[in-house]
Amino acid sequence: MKLARIETADGVESGRHEDGTVITDSGEFTVGVDGSLRAPCDPGSIYCVGRNYAATLDQMEYDRPDQPDWFIKPAVAAHDPGVPVEYPAWTDELTYAGELAAVIDHECTALDGEREVREAVRGWTIMNDLDALDQPGRTARKAFDGSAPLGPVIETDLDPRTVEMTTHVGGEPRQEATTERMLFDPYEVLAFLSTRYTFRPGDVVAFGSPANPGLVEPGETVDIWYEGIGHLRNTVVTTE
């Protein structure tokens, strides 16, 4: 089942997404007619794992980590699907990265084993981990407003360990991989991070990017596809 949030004239509604319609307790809303899709959750924190694909380690000349390597984006990083992303004026090197992400369903910590992890996850979505590569340190690079486009939906019925993905930028193929190539699979990552943090409903955990994250220029659309979820598309724009 796919879940979505839609901005209507009466506010944001949440419900089941079927064939371009969001079905809620208040009624049925057609995307693009009755409103626009919002990010499918409202995270308090966005936990991001890096260096989680061997091919990416080779490309970036990183050492292989002994445990998941992570950082955190704030709530203001969340950005809606389909809504243009502003190219920050303070960077000359903005990069994309197409990532699978989990959405937490309820408050939890110290998850023990795959069963508890499964029960804690509402479902799976897509994140674009935008990165201002020329800034000093991960927080300056990655934790800015709008740096985590999310969506378009949450898929509740998905095995996150066997998912195909592609990323196109400006219509050109840039990434193609499967989550089978992760060093630490999503269930391992969630259990690991839960020993350090208390997850809250709507929080997001992203599992890293396959090889070939790269530069994106104003005017280009980043189209990230994950099997079973769909396409997350955002166009990068400049206000200048």
- The mean pLDDT of 155-160, rounded to a whole number, is 97
| Same structural domain, 109 and 8 | no
Question: Residue 162 pLDDT more than 80?
Answer: yes
Question: What's residue 221's pLDDT?
Answer: 98
Nearest to residue 101, comparing CAs of 78, 125, 79, 119? 125
| Same structural domain, 92 and 199 | yes
- The mean pLDDT of 110-124, rounded to a whole number, is 96
Residue with the bigger pLDDT between 64 and 11: it is 11
Count of domains for the chain? 2
Amino acid residing at 17: H
Question: What's residue 211's pLDDT?
Answer: 80
Give pLDDT tens digits for 173-208. 999 999 999 999 999 999 999 999 999 999 999 999
| Same structural domain, 34 and 101 | no
Question: What's residue 62's pLDDT?
Answer: 63
- The mean pLDDT of 48-59, rounded to a whole number, is 76
| Same structural domain, 7 and 101 | no
Question: What's residue 24's pLDDT?
Answer: 96
Give pLDDT tens digits for 60-94. 556 677 899 999 999 999 999 999 999 999 999 99
Say which range, 17-21, 48-52, 93-97, 185-189, has the weakest mean pLDDT.
48-52
State the pLDDT confidence band at 239, using cuts at 50, 70 and 90: confident
Looking up residue 13, the CATH number of its domain turns out to be 2.30.30.370
| Same structural domain, 1 and 117 | no
Question: What's residue 135's pLDDT?
Answer: 97
Looking up residue 157, the CATH number of its domain turns out to be 3.90.850.10
| Same structural domain, 47 and 64 | yes
| Same structural domain, 224 and 210 | yes
- The mean pLDDT of 34-40, rounded to a whole number, is 97
Question: What's residue 126's pLDDT?
Answer: 98
| Same structural domain, 21 and 132 | no
| Same structural domain, 24 and 66 | no
Domain containing residue 28: 1-38
What's the mean per-residue pLDDT of the chain? 94
| Same structural domain, 23 and 132 | no
- The mean pLDDT of 91-108, rounded to a whole number, is 97
| Same structural domain, 78 and 17 | no
The share of the chain scoring above pLDDT 70, in percent, equals 96
| Same structural domain, 83 and 1 | no
